[in-house]
């Protein structure tokens, strides 16, 4: 879900239809030693229906793995909606008129957006724009991987919880939340095009463009970049280092933006002395 959240910041978490019903070959990396193999796969949390990506090298790596690791466990939409409503409720003054105008344009009732904290208002507007562009969470990568793991009886491990992810937003400073909302409203007219560009780059295995889009999304505030990307990448890199001490094969799937750019998980693993290689397929 978070990478639904981060991807909507990067679009996100995001209209053309360039990936509709087309074959996609996303980037895949591997870290391995004598008895441990960890695949690193970048996901997108929303896709257009019928995008074909779960095949070839990605499927082979998944099938060879004993365990699936994702950002959070398979989410319960109702529970997450209730949690977001609890954390993101607001009783302050109305937002600037441009915020309400943007919300109404995306189908929200007049003044409805004012009842949300700035971080949740930003995510809500982003997700509505993504949906309007034809993308759906139930067609996203994580949903497919969780279902496939259940069918195959694979162990599933979550790096975070839905609550901890939402708390990342809720604990941002007021200034950072306001910057996030302002940037979101400003970018809404281009949300569909940015989503298409991000998803197309992901499907083409173009990690450089994925990283550039993620970096652009984080420009609203250094605080946001630290909270949503850098610190989490460091925690995940530490998790990989610890997991390499146990034998087995793991398929680790996290948001594609975390596996691209100068502060990527791979870069942090390299600093820790682990060799990360791109899988050719």
Quote the CA–CA distance of 93 and 70 in Å, as a whole number: 38
Q: How confident is the model at residue 139 (pLDDT cuts 50, 70, 90)?
A: low
pLDDT at 23: 85
More confident of the two residues 132 and 253: 253
User: Mean per-residue pLDDT for 238-263?
Assistant: 95
How many other CB atoms sit within 10 Å of the CB of residue 246? 9
pLDDT at 236: 98
The answer to whether 4 and 169 are in contact (CB under 8 A) is: no
Quote the CA–CA distance of 271 and 276 in Å, as a whole number: 11
Q: With 70 as the cut, is the pLDDT of residue 15 above it?
A: no
Q: With 80 as the cut, is the pLDDT of residue 55 above it?
A: yes
Q: With 70 as the cut, is the pLDDT of residue 24 above it?
A: yes
Q: With 70 as the cut, is the pLDDT of residue 106 above it?
A: yes
Q: How confident is the model at residue 92 (pLDDT cuts 50, 70, 90)?
A: confident
Q: Token pair of 162, please?
A: 């839905």
Q: How confident is the model at residue 243 (pLDDT cuts 50, 70, 90)?
A: very high
- Residue 41, beta-bridge partner list: 28, 253
User: Mean per-residue pLDDT for 240-251?
Assistant: 98
Q: What is the pLDDT of residues 60-88, one digit of tens each?
A: 999 999 999 999 998 888 898 899 999 99
**Sole residue written with tokens 């499927």:** 59
The answer to whether 105 and 17 are in contact (CB under 8 A) is: no
Q: Could you tell me the pTM of the whole model? A: 0.88
């Amino acid at each position: 879900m978070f990478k639904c959240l981060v991807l909507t910041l990067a679009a996100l978490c995001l209209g053309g239809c360039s990936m509709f019903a087309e074959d996609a070959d996303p980037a895949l990396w591997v870290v391995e030693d004598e008895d441990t193999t960890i695949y690193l796969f970048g996901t997108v949390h929303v896709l257009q229906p019928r995008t074909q990506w779960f095949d070839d090298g990605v499927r082979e790596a998944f099938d060879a793995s004993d365990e699936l690791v994702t950002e959070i466990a398979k989410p319960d939409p109702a529970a997450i909606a209730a949690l977001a409503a609890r954390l993101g409720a607001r009783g302050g003054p109305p937002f600037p008129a441009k915020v309400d105008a943007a919300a109404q344009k995306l189908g929200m009732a007049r003044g409805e957006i004012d009842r949300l904290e700035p971080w949740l208002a930003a995510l809500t507007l982003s997700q509505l724009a993504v949906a309007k562009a034809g993308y759906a969470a139930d067609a996203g990568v994580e949903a497919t991987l969780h279902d496939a793991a259940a069918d195959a009886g694979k162990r599933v491990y979550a790096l975070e919880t839905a609550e901890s992810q939402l708390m990342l937003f809720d604990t941002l400073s007021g200034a950072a939340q306001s910057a996030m909302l302002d940037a979101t409203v400003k970018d809404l007219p281009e949300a569909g095009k940015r989503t298409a560009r991000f998803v197309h780059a992901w499907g083409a295995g173009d990690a450089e463009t994925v990283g550039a889009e993620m970096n652009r999304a984080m420009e609203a505030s250094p605080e946001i970049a630290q909270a949503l990307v850098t610190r989490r990448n460091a925690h995940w890199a530490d998790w990989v280092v610890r997991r390499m001490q146990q034998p087995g094969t793991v398929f680790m799937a996290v948001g594609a933006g975390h596996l691209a750019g100068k502060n990527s998980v791979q870069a942090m693993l390299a600093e820790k002395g682990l060799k990360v290689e791109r899988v050719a397929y």
